Amino acid sequence: MLKGSKVGLRARHEDDVPILQAELHDDVVNHSRAQSRPWRPVTPGSKRSHFVVDDDEERHVQFSVVRAADGMLAGSAALWGIDTHNRSAHVGLGLLPSARGQGLGTDVVAVLCHYGFVVRGLRRLQIEALSDNTAMLRAAERNGFVREGVLRSSAWVMGDFLDEVLLGLLVEDWSP
């Protein structure tokens, strides 16, 4: 397990999947804001849930987020789009409603940075967040990510096009 001050990132357990599915995926608005593909229902227990981990997939590493204080499941985190040639990846996370507003997101981003830069030897991490997702923007900036641009009207979310903010962090600018 990778440990931060408030969270741990561990391998996804089979019994995490239905909780993450119910609290993150089945919330249509939340899913639509977090994913770049349209929401669609997924049958309970389906292996098509994006919370089911494919251990052979090298370009996408998923973790379950647990609170350090009590070990309770708090959400999902990932490095995705891992490019071993350019040594870069994207950061993503989703916290359960009961885990939001406690500063866990900032710690999740910090632990993902450690994993990407120290464990995987990456050089650049990137985050794309909706421009109104102040929690994710704050978590990224507290970890040293720099706003590199705005992708205007690039995300179709529940009937509207929204702006996305592009943030990046280079290993030489990272301070653990």
Q: What is the pLDDT of residues 102-126, one digit of tens each?
A: 999 999 999 999 999 999 999 999 9
In the numeric block, the tokens 């440990």 are attached to: 3
Task: Give the count of domains, the chain.
Answer: 1
pLDDT band at residue 174 under the 50/70/90 scheme: very high
Q: What pLDDT is recorded for position 25? A: 87
Please enumerate in sequence order all residues whose Cβ is within 8 A of that of 146, keeping only pairs 6 or more positions apart, or say none. 167, 168, 169, 173
Residue 146 belongs to some domain of the structure? no
Q: What is the pLDDT of residues 54-113, one digit of tens each?
A: 888 889 999 999 999 999 999 999 999 999 999 999 999 999 999 999 999 999 999 999
Q: Above 90 in pLDDT, residue 49?
A: no
Residue 136 belongs to some domain of the structure? no
Residue 132 belongs to some domain of the structure? no
What CATH number is associated with residue 35?
A: 3.40.630.30
Residue 69 belongs to some domain of the structure? yes
Q: What pLDDT is recorded for position 2? A: 98
Q: Above 90 in pLDDT, residue 32?
A: no
Distances (CA, A) of 1 to 6, 111, 122: 13, 10, 19
**d(C-alpha 18, C-alpha 27), whole Å:** 13
Whether the CB-CB separation of 15 and 22 falls below 8 Å is answered with no
Whether the CB-CB separation of 24 and 30 falls below 8 Å is answered with yes
pLDDT band at residue 43 under the 50/70/90 scheme: confident
pLDDT band at residue 50 under the 50/70/90 scheme: confident
Q: Above 90 in pLDDT, residue 30?
A: no
In the numeric block, the tokens 């981003």 are attached to: 109
Domain that holds residue 11: 2-127
Q: What is the pLDDT of residues 123-173, one digit of tens each?
A: 999 999 999 999 999 999 999 999 999 999 999 999 999 999 999 999 999
Whether the CB-CB separation of 143 and 104 falls below 8 Å is answered with no
Q: What pLDDT is recorded for position 122? A: 98
